[in-house]
Structure 1
Amino acid sequence: MARIAFILLTHKDPKGVIAQARRLTAAGDYVAIHFDARANSDDFRAIRTALADDPGVTFARKRLKCGWGEWSLVAATLEALKAAADAFPQATHFYMLSGDCLPIKSAEYVHNFLDAEDFDYIESFDFFESDWIKTGIKAERLIYRHWFNERTQKRLFYASMGLQQRFGLTRDIPKDIRMMIGSQWWCLRRETVESVMTFCESRPDVMRFFATTWIPDETFFQTLVAHLVPRRQIRTRTLTFLMFTDYGMPVTFYNDHYDLLLRQDYLFARKISPESLELRDRLGALWQETGMEFPLSGEGPRLFQFLVGRGRVGRRFAPRFWETEGSLGRSRMVLLIVAKKWHIAKRLTDGIRATTDIPAVDYVFNELAANLPDMGGVASTLDKRQRHRRALVKMLFDQMETPNLVLCLDPSALSLIADFASDRAETRILFVDSPFDDDYLRGHMIRVGLVSVGTPSEVVDRLLPVVRGDLEHEAERLRDMDFARFEVISPERTTDHNAEAIQRFLDVPPETAQQLAEIPHLFAD
């Protein structure tokens, strides 16, 4: 059976460290603790005294002063790993934890999980080719030497790097290794840890290189494991559930996240609020449970983004493409069908193509198949369409040789709709105002990945009013924009009323508008 040596790096909360160590060793596992040398010495003595009689606990032989982004974090991890490997020869796996991590599965489940497959679990992506680094410096982390901490010595950090840039003082990455990057929360097999230790002793050149890189805890183990272990024996993932906000800060979990955490396909979670005593007690007790089953749904990241996003209405994350790329032209008219239920909008565009000469395309920024003509590379992927939105729309006008063009947009794209409305071209909007019953909302949540088929019904039921309110709020925001040419059709209005709105929207004869309003099953789900 798998027996885990947990590598616990911590710097505060001695009572929490003691409780965490006792909880983990109670199931037959081990703990090796590195307590930051910057922390209070009395706290460290309290931890050592309290755990002195626990044979499943050991301590790093050397305590280091650790700083975020520094080599000291890797050095501290290596000290704890050495202590664990020596003290616990029965340990089969070594699992990296912090004081903010708690189990979201039982020890029984975790041991069975590790016994089932013989793999190392560590995120390990190509440093240069992947997009793991979203913001900030990238290659500069490696090719320059970093002796100062960017957070605490910002002026010295950038002055040092600036001087190296000015005088071309770059350095080469060790020739025989491929730089990798990923989360610092990993679980490695014993043979892998021993191989890493041997490598560290035999390659002082690599150790010197990493010692002056920036944020090496995201590259050191990730690179060495990929270098030493066959790729087929690595699962490129972390077993610790963590999420980040838009500002790059870890999401903190609270008492009401218990059910959500247990459904994630992970073994531990970071980071648990120290104030959420109920959650800490429940997760602590969970570790000792036996015979429990854990239905997995994995909707956590999407659900978090949805709930957080509801409080960020109106925030812009990119410049308006109109502002940087000019106008579509005064002589043109953009006809926007705005509908949350895409099938209704597409029935309308089918009807417009069949009964009028006005070119109509579907959700060109959301779906590849959107009744587009052949437009070459600019329309080949959704990513390209998003990056070249104005170019795409101008090409549609030019290729179709038309002054008028019908496009479909989702009401969630309010900033894009506003960009069209502010252009010098005339913009008209036809809003399809649809009611949302529970069956539609359940299907919508699955389609957007907010929940999965396996999500418990009680969770889905709790989300229904939230999602319904969100969709209704989208409609209200659209109406509140007070667009100059804004029409509404709805299944709750008469066919004649809808025909009049369509006629004003398209400038077509009354009989054509009536024909479109009478499309069979136009509003049916």
Structure 2
Amino acid sequence: MASIAFILLCHKDPAAIIEQAERLTAVGDYMSIHFDARAKPEHYKRIREALANNPRVTFARRRIKCGWGEWSLVQATLHAIEAAVDAFPRATHFYMLSGDCMAVKSAEFAHDYLNRSDVDYVESFDFFESDWIKTGIKEERLIYRHYFNERGRKWLFYQSLEWQRRLGLERKIPEDLQIQIGSQWWCLRRRTVEAILEFTRARKDVMRFFRTTWIPDETFFQTLVRHLVPGPEIRSRTLTFLMFTDYGMPVTFYNDHYDLLLSQDFLFARKISPEAQQLKRRLGQLYAAKGVNFQISNEGRSLFKFLTNRGRIGRRFGLRFWEAENSLGRERELMIVICKKWHVAKRLLDRIRQVTNLPAIEYLFHEEDTKLPDLGGIQRSLGKRTRHRRALMRMLFDYYNTDRMIICLDPNSLELIKDFAGDRSVTKLLEVECQFTEEYLIGHAKRVGLAGETTSKDTLERLLPTIRNDIAFETDRIRDEGLEHFYRIRQSDSAEQNAGPLSQFLSLPRETARDIAAMEHLFVD
């Protein structure tokens, strides 16, 4: 049966630390605490006194002053691990935590989860091949020695780098190590932790190397676990749920995030707001609960990205230089069907092909597998198609030897629509306005990763109005542009009513357009 020794690094809020230690140990787990030596002595004294009679809590024998990005964080972790290994011989797993973390599952669930697989949980990606580092220095973290903290002594930090570059003071990485990188929030088995401690005593060269690397808490344990443990026994993931904003800052969770946190495929979450007292209380009660059935939908990150990106809709990006002077051709006519329900637009295009023989291509800027002719490679990926959109369309006009063509676009493609409408060619737009049932919106949320099969009804009820408004917002943006040659057919209108705008869009007799609009099952989901 799994038994967890939590490794807690902290530096503030003694009341919260005491509460966290009592909560996690009350169900039979353990905790080893390293309290930053920079913190107030009276805070440390308060923690020691409050937990003195708790046999399931121990403290690092040596406290050190910790600094972000420094080796001191790793050293403090090692001190806490050593104390835990000695004090808790029955602990089977060692779980790294901070004072901002809280459990989002019950202890019963966490223990069962760890019992299922005899593996270590640690993010570990190849340092040089992965794109884990998004900004800032990369290989310089390793090949140069870092004696100054970038946050506190920025000038010295970068001046030291420059001096080492000029003097050619690059150093070699230990030859038998393949450096890995990942989140510092890991959960390791006892034999892995003991192997790491033995390695630190035997390999002084590796310890010297990591002591002067930058942000070693993202590389030290990640590298050593891969070095000491067979690959099949490692899960390259963290069991702590955390998200980051576009600015690289951790997302903070508040009282109204309770249901969201419980539905994620993680055991803990970071970071919980100090002001979120209701959330802390509910999560604290949850850890000791028995028989709780958790519905895992795991939509947290995709939902956060979706909601935050809504504020950026409509941002205009400049044209690529190869597009600025390109035109589809003054005599050509591009007809664009705009529809959120792709299956409806595809049925409409299929019927138009049958009646008119016009070249009609479905969502070529949205679906990778849209059938396209070989155009020399420009058609191979969505990225290439979008970057070279005017060149692609010119080539398609030439391939089909036509001056009239129809394509489909999703309503979220305002930039594409505006770009084509700004061309010297004639651009016509047909919006297909559909009705959206609650069942359809739920299916849409699942298809795009905003919800899962087990997402709670309460979460969906809060999410659906946002999705519905988002769809309406996309179409409103297009209408607000006041583009010429804009037509609309509606699911709520009759075939006779839709025949008029369809006739103008396709430049067909009204009778022919009525025949197209009257097709059976056009709007069926």
TM tier relative to shorter chain: over 0.9
| One-letter code aligned to 1:378 | I
Residues matched between the structures, number: 523
- Separation of aligned partners in 2, 1:405 and 1:322: 24
Identify if the C-alpha distance between structure 1 residues 210 and 403 changes in structure 2 by more than 3 Å, giving closer, same or farther.
farther
What secondary structure is seen at the aligned counterpart in 1 of 2:378?
Answer: helix
| One-letter code aligned to 1:232 | P
What is the match of residue 306 of structure 1? 306
Identify if the C-alpha distance between structure 1 residues 440 and 168 changes in structure 2 by more than 3 Å, giving closer, same or farther.
same
What secondary structure is seen at the aligned counterpart in 1 of 2:465?
Answer: helix
Matches within 5 A, 1:121-160: 121-160=121-160
Answering whether residue 318 of structure 2 is matched by residue 325 of structure 1, we say no
**Structure 1 residue 201: Cα displacement:** 1.7
| One-letter code aligned to 1:482 | G
What is the match of residue 480 of structure 2? 480
Answering whether residue 523 of structure 2 is matched by residue 523 of structure 1, we say yes
Which shifted more, 414-423 or 287-296? 414-423
Matches within 5 A, 1:369-380: 369-375=369-375, 377-380=377-380
What is the match of residue 38 of structure 1? 38
- Separation of aligned partners in 1, 2:167 and 2:395: 46
| One-letter code aligned to 2:245 | T
**Structure 1 residue 239: Cα displacement:** 0.7
Identify if the C-alpha distance between structure 1 residues 429 and 182 changes in structure 2 by more than 3 Å, giving closer, same or farther.
same
Answering whether residue 348 of structure 2 is matched by residue 348 of structure 1, we say yes
What secondary structure is seen at the aligned counterpart in 1 of 2:109?
Answer: helix
- Separation of aligned partners in 2, 1:247 and 1:311: 15
What is the match of residue 231 of structure 1? 231
**Structure 1 residue 125: Cα displacement:** 1.4
What is the match of residue 49 of structure 1? 49
**Structure 1 residue 474: Cα displacement:** 1.7
- Separation of aligned partners in 1, 2:482 and 2:325: 21
- Deviation digits for residues 341-393 of structure 1 (CA, Å, limit 9, x no counterpart): 00111122223333335322111122123232233543334454455545544
What is the match of residue 288 of structure 1? 288
Provide TM-score, normalisation by structure 1.
Answer: 0.93
Answering whether residue 218 of structure 2 is matched by residue 218 of structure 1, we say yes
Contact 2:9/2:77 (CA < 8 Å) preserved in 1?
Answer: yes
- Deviation digits for residues 119-147 of structure 1 (CA, Å, limit 9, x no counterpart): 10111112222222233332232223333
What is the match of residue 5 of structure 1? 5
What secondary structure is seen at the aligned counterpart in 2 of 1:201?
Answer: helix
What is the match of residue 448 of structure 1? 448
Matches within 5 A, 1:58-137: 58-137=58-137
Identify if the C-alpha distance between structure 1 residues 398 and 197 changes in structure 2 by more than 3 Å, giving closer, same or farther.
farther
- Separation of aligned partners in 1, 2:401 and 2:326: 14
- Separation of aligned partners in 2, 1:174 and 1:58: 34
Identify if the C-alpha distance between structure 1 residues 164 and 111 changes in structure 2 by more than 3 Å, giving closer, same or farther.
same
- Separation of aligned partners in 2, 1:398 and 1:36: 69
- Separation of aligned partners in 2, 1:394 and 1:154: 52
Contact 2:323/2:388 (CA < 8 Å) preserved in 1?
Answer: no
What secondary structure is seen at the aligned counterpart in 2 of 1:378?
Answer: coil
**Structure 1 residue 394: Cα displacement:** 4.2
| One-letter code aligned to 1:156 | L
What is the match of residue 499 of structure 1? 499
- Separation of aligned partners in 2, 1:69 and 1:512: 70
Identify if the C-alpha distance between structure 1 residues 523 and 328 changes in structure 2 by more than 3 Å, giving closer, same or farther.
farther
Contact 1:70/1:214 (CA < 8 Å) preserved in 2?
Answer: yes
Identify if the C-alpha distance between structure 1 residues 403 and 321 changes in structure 2 by more than 3 Å, giving closer, same or farther.
farther
- Separation of aligned partners in 2, 1:315 and 1:67: 39
**Structure 1 residue 243: Cα displacement:** 1.4
What is the match of residue 428 of structure 2? 428
Identify if the C-alpha distance between structure 1 residues 224 and 435 changes in structure 2 by more than 3 Å, giving closer, same or farther.
same
Contact 1:327/1:423 (CA < 8 Å) preserved in 2?
Answer: no
**Structure 1 residue 64: Cα displacement:** 2.2
- Unpaired runs of 5+ residues, structure 2, are none
Identical aligned pairs, as a percentage? 59
What secondary structure is seen at the aligned counterpart in 1 of 2:358?
Answer: coil
- Deviation digits for residues 63-92 of structure 1 (CA, Å, limit 9, x no counterpart): 222222222221211121112112212211
Identify if the C-alpha distance between structure 1 residues 144 and 398 changes in structure 2 by more than 3 Å, giving closer, same or farther.
farther
- Separation of aligned partners in 1, 2:217 and 2:244: 17
| One-letter code aligned to 2:28 | G
- Separation of aligned partners in 1, 2:148 and 2:509: 73
What is the match of residue 276 of structure 1? 276
- Deviation digits for residues 155-199 of structure 1 (CA, Å, limit 9, x no counterpart): 333333233344443333222111211111110001101111111
What is the match of residue 202 of structure 2? 202
What is the match of residue 14 of structure 1? 14
Identify if the C-alpha distance between structure 1 residues 167 and 386 changes in structure 2 by more than 3 Å, giving closer, same or farther.
farther
- Separation of aligned partners in 1, 2:153 and 2:428: 54
What secondary structure is seen at the aligned counterpart in 2 of 1:325?
Answer: coil
Which shifted more, 378-387 or 109-118? 378-387
- Separation of aligned partners in 1, 2:210 and 2:285: 40
- Separation of aligned partners in 1, 2:174 and 2:395: 48
**Structure 1 residue 515: Cα displacement:** 3.4
Answering whether residue 415 of structure 2 is matched by residue 412 of structure 1, we say no
Which shifted more, 321-330 or 298-307? 321-330
Identify if the C-alpha distance between structure 1 residues 387 and 14 changes in structure 2 by more than 3 Å, giving closer, same or farther.
farther
What is the match of residue 190 of structure 2? 190
Identify if the C-alpha distance between structure 1 residues 390 and 38 changes in structure 2 by more than 3 Å, giving closer, same or farther.
farther
**Structure 1 residue 425: Cα displacement:** 4.1
- Unpaired runs of 5+ residues, structure 1, are none
Contact 1:128/1:139 (CA < 8 Å) preserved in 2?
Answer: yes
Identify if the C-alpha distance between structure 1 residues 301 and 175 changes in structure 2 by more than 3 Å, giving closer, same or farther.
same
**Structure 1 residue 118: Cα displacement:** 0.7
Which shifted more, 442-451 or 391-400? 391-400
What is the match of residue 247 of structure 1? 247
| One-letter code aligned to 2:90 | Q
Which shifted more, 255-264 or 329-338? 329-338
- Separation of aligned partners in 2, 1:184 and 1:109: 23
What is the match of residue 263 of structure 1? 263
Which shifted more, 418-427 or 345-354? 418-427
Which shifted more, 126-135 or 43-52? 126-135
- Separation of aligned partners in 2, 1:420 and 1:231: 50
| One-letter code aligned to 1:335 | M
- Deviation digits for residues 263-286 of structure 1 (CA, Å, limit 9, x no counterpart): 111111111111000100111111
Identify if the C-alpha distance between structure 1 residues 75 and 435 changes in structure 2 by more than 3 Å, giving closer, same or farther.
same
What is the match of residue 173 of structure 1? 173
- Deviation digits for residues 32-75 of structure 1 (CA, Å, limit 9, x no counterpart): 11112222222122112211221111112222222222222212
Contact 2:7/2:77 (CA < 8 Å) preserved in 1?
Answer: yes
Contact 2:326/2:391 (CA < 8 Å) preserved in 1?
Answer: no
Contact 1:328/1:394 (CA < 8 Å) preserved in 2?
Answer: no
- Separation of aligned partners in 1, 2:517 and 2:13: 66
| One-letter code aligned to 2:421 | A
Contact 1:69/1:214 (CA < 8 Å) preserved in 2?
Answer: yes
Contact 2:5/2:30 (CA < 8 Å) preserved in 1?
Answer: yes
Which shifted more, 243-252 or 369-378? 369-378
Identify if the C-alpha distance between structure 1 residues 388 and 324 changes in structure 2 by more than 3 Å, giving closer, same or farther.
closer
- Separation of aligned partners in 2, 1:144 and 1:393: 50
